[in-house]
Amino acid sequence: MAKATKYVSKVADEHGNIAWTAEENQIWQALITRQLSTVKNTACDEFNEGLEKLNLPIDRIPQLEEVSEVLRATTGWSCEPVPALIGFGEFFRLLSEKKFPVATFIRSQEEFDYLQEPDIFHEIYGHCALLTNESFANYTQAYGMMGLNASKEDRVFLARLYWFTVEFGLLDTPKGLRVYGGGILSSPTETEYALNDKNVERKPLDVLDVLRTQYRIDILQPVYFMLTKVSDLDEIRKLEVEDIMALVEQAKKIGLHPAKFELKAS
């Protein structure tokens, strides 16, 4: 999570509001208009229900307090403004306290279609809608608590659990494949690819399998893990921390699956 970025988060004024430029608001409008046109037959029902609750503005970037008001009323969460990138320790702490970290910058026009680091559109549109869902919200908090006291090595394994659920999770529903991962929801390219590409591997989610699966942040994912509904996350959440960490140890002993992509040089 802590790596170089060219983006700088904006600082709120004494009232907690951020002054967004006309250009930044236009980028938000273009992003959300494009994504809303795809969600009916691609996003899961739980996400669409959350979008209705948030009632996000189309013509401007919402203030964080506008989103937090809805989250507090539904699941007790809130948005927490953070720098463009934060370390694992801070990330886990905030999640454990039901504070969702939101970097207060929006991507440039040059990176409109793809951005490696999460901007305010990714965080608000991609994640906050589902944070109105009790199962998703409770799982996200439990994940934060899980990572608080984990070692640096163990956090690398735990990152895969977040990646393949919260960021790139799919649902295999009676209506067909649907998306609940924010990394897919905020990208039309990845949405089309994840749901329809014939070369993609889609697997029922098994925690040990996930912990052994490598990923890269700068490519379309070659493998996705599926639940049947968002409330299936309750089964992972109900595992004791000791059980999850035992699976981490097991993953270490067995070893990682061979990467389905070219590994980047260290």
Residue 2 pLDDT grade (very low, low, confident, very high; cuts 50, 70, 90): very low
Residue 53, C-beta contacts closer than 8 angstroms, at least 6 positions apart: 70, 74, 129, 132
State yes or no: 257 annotated in a binding site. no
Mean pLDDT of the chain: 94
Comparing 22-26, 105-109, 206-210, 250-254, the range with the smallest average pLDDT is 105-109
Cβ contacts of residue 111 below 8 Å, gap of 6+? none
**Could you tell me which residues come within 8 angstroms of residue 151 by beta carbon, excluding any fewer than 6 positions away?**
none
Residue 110: per-residue pLDDT: 86
Give all domains of the chain, ordered by start, each with its CATH number.
22-254 (1.10.800.10)
Give the amino acid at 11: V
Indicate the range of 36-40, 69-73, 94-98, 262-266 predicted with least confidence: 262-266
Each residue's pLDDT tens digit, 173-192: 999 999 999 999 988 889 99
* pLDDT tens for each residue of 162-174: 999 999 999 999 9
Beta strand 170-173 pairing with 176-179:
antiparallel
- pTM for this structure? 0.94
**15 annotated ligand binder:** no
Identify which of 124, 118, 131 has the alpha carbon closest to the alpha carbon of residue 49: 131
Residues in the chain: 266
122 assigned to a ligand binding site: yes
